Amino acid sequence: MITNHQRLQARLARAFHWDEKMPLPSSINDLSTTAGSNSPAGSESPSLIDDYLRTYASYIAQLRDGAQSNAFNFATAGGSANAITATYSPAITTLSDSTVLLAKAAAVNTGAATFSPNGLTAKPIVDLWHGALQGGEIVANGEICLQYNSSVGGGSWILIYSSGIPQQAPAIVGSSLNIRMNIAAASASGTLTADEVVVKSALGSYARTISNFNKTINLATTGAGGMDTGTAPVSGFVALYAIYNPGTATAALLATNATSAAAPAVYGGANMPSGYTLSALLTVYPTNASSQFIVGAVEGAKVIFGPVITATQGSNNGSYTAQSLSAVVPKNARKVGGYVIHSASSSGSVVSSFLASASSGVGEKVLGGGSVTTNSGYNQAFEDLTIITAQTIYFKNSSSIAGQSFTPFISSYYI
């Protein structure tokens, strides 16, 4: 018959992989039934009983120390950056939804990663939203906590915690505080600053906040701090991205041609510099005929510059007509501002002119009216005219004064 202390001995031996055998008496008896005597009442000698109790106490101490130090479920990770391994003692032989393991990471992950404890089949590591890792969620020498979940992706390790990474922000990519860039003279270079910038590896992924962003861009170079590939466009637009390398905790600016298509919120090109996995669109800025930044400035989402004429409209344009802004604002532009010059070659009353976001008159702005004398006119400013169709606004007037013209100028846009 197996006694309780035999069962305990066997369990401890299996748990700790003890090779030595605990000296196990056939029975434990009172050491003496006579006062002042060390002779056992039974058949066991005092030395065997003493050995048993000492060894038993040692095993209990090891159990206590292991529990206090978390040695049973902690290990220093091995493997590679994206294929993490760890050896635990006692060995992990099976996985269940209650399996929680700790490890000290050896390297930063650069993308999707897997975890294999004690040689078990590698399973993917996913974030708290059960999405694949994108890169930078684990850092070298950081502590990670992984819990197995058999219901996620056929079996995955949930990254419950990871120390040492920059702040993970439940924020919108591209969110920023106090973005500024001032181009006082046409140049291939510019410096963009921001108190904070939120970057992501993809829409819907976890976010990071970069503080005290202060980086220079040179359109005449390629790579981090320059164009992603090729040369800057001639009289076009460049999108400026904040990019981040989680492995080196390095941030930079990256420019890409945004003349023919709207730039996405997260860099989507094939030329991201090596190691940079997170990004955010900060602004889209015009270039001149020399592929340089034009004179102007960026203030938050607003880009300002010297007024640029669009196309002059004649009189009696009583219905809305599309006005292309493709040479003035990028496809990312959401709103525009500027002014309209009203002029005439004869005197009379000028009936109000109008700008709108669509031919239906949605978002209509009335630019006022008044009287003019021969060869004179007046100006009317407007702001925040919403763009519905990319690079297009709509204009109309209903005056019949001879030689009348209406000329819109654009001097700002918002992305």
Mapping DSSP onto H, E and C, the string for 200-262 reads ECCCCCCEEEEEEEEEEEECCCECCCCECCCCCCCCCEEEEEEEEECCCCEEEEEEEECCCCC
Distance, CA of 190 to CA of 182 (rounded, Å): 7
Q: Which of 334, 311, 308, 314 minimizes the C-alpha distance to 323?
A: 311
Does residue 287 share a domain with residue 249?
yes
Domain boundary among 264, 280, 300: 300
Q: How many domains does the chain have?
A: 4
Using 50, 70 and 90 to split pLDDT, how confident is the model at 20? very low
Tell me if 32 is assigned to some domain. no
> Could you tell me where the beta strands, DSSP code E, fall in 287-403?
296-299, 302-309, 313-314, 321-324, 335-344, 348-350, 354-356, 365-366, 370-372, 376-386, 392-396
Chain segment 26-71, per-residue pLDDT in tens: 554 445 555 555 555 555 555 666 666 666 666 676 666 656 656 6
pLDDT by residue (tens digit) across 87-139?
998 899 999 999 999 999 999 998 899 999 999 999 999 988 787 887 888 98
Same domain assignment for residues 206 and 141: no
Boundary (domain end) residue, out of 300, 327, 350: 300
Statement to judge: residues 241 and 206 lie in one domain: yes
Angstrom distance (rounded) from CA 214 to CA 179: 10
The answer to the question of residue 116 being in a domain is: yes
Question: Is the domain of 213 the same as that of 260?
Answer: yes
* Domain presence at residue 31: no
Q: Does one domain contain both 203 and 285?
A: yes
- Burial (CB < 10 A; 0-12, 13-18, 19+), residue 76, is exposed
Same domain, 150 and 184: no
Q: 181 and 282: one domain? A: yes
State whether 253 and 344 are in the same domain.
no
Residue 3 has pLDDT above 60, yes or no: no
Q: Which residue, 162, 184, 199, sits at the end of a domain?
A: 162
Rounded Cα–Cα distance for residues 43 and 35 (Å): 18
pLDDT digits (tens, 9 = 90+) for 224-251: 999 999 999 999 999 999 999 877 889 9
Residue 128 domain boundaries: 74-162
Q: Does any domain span residue 406?
A: yes
**Co-location of 286 and 323 in the same domain:** no
With a cut of 70, say whether residue 149 has pLDDT above it: yes
Whether the CB-CB separation of 323 and 315 falls below 8 Å is answered with no
pLDDT band at residue 350 using 50, 70 and 90 as cut-offs: low
Residues 153 and 269 in one domain: no
User: Is 108 a member of any domain?
Assistant: yes
Q: Is residue 123 part of a domain?
A: yes
Tell whether the torsion through CA atoms of 62, 66, 72 and 77 is positive or negative. negative
Share in percent of the chain as helix, strand, coil (round to 5): 10, 40, 50
Alpha-carbon dihedral 279, 285, 291, 294, rounded to 10 degrees: -140
* Residue 50 and residue 89 in one domain: no
Q: Per the domain annotation, does 47 fall within a domain?
A: yes
Q: For residue 377, what are its two tokens?
A: 């006119």
Structure tokens at 291: 């592929």
Say what the pLDDT of residue 179 is.
Answer: 95
User: What is residue 67's predicted lDDT score, i.e. its pLDDT?
Assistant: 62
Minimum mean pLDDT among 54-58, 123-127, 369-373, 390-394: which range? Answer: 369-373
Q: pLDDT value at position 18? A: 46
pTM score over 0.85? no
- For residues 353-373, give the mean pLDDT: 83
Whether 182 and 295 map to the same domain: the answer is: yes
User: What pLDDT is attached to residue 315?
Assistant: 59
Closest CA to 216 of 204, 205, 224: 224
Stronger pLDDT, 172 or 325, i.e. the higher one = 325
Question: What CATH number does the domain containing 320 carry?
Answer: 2.60.120
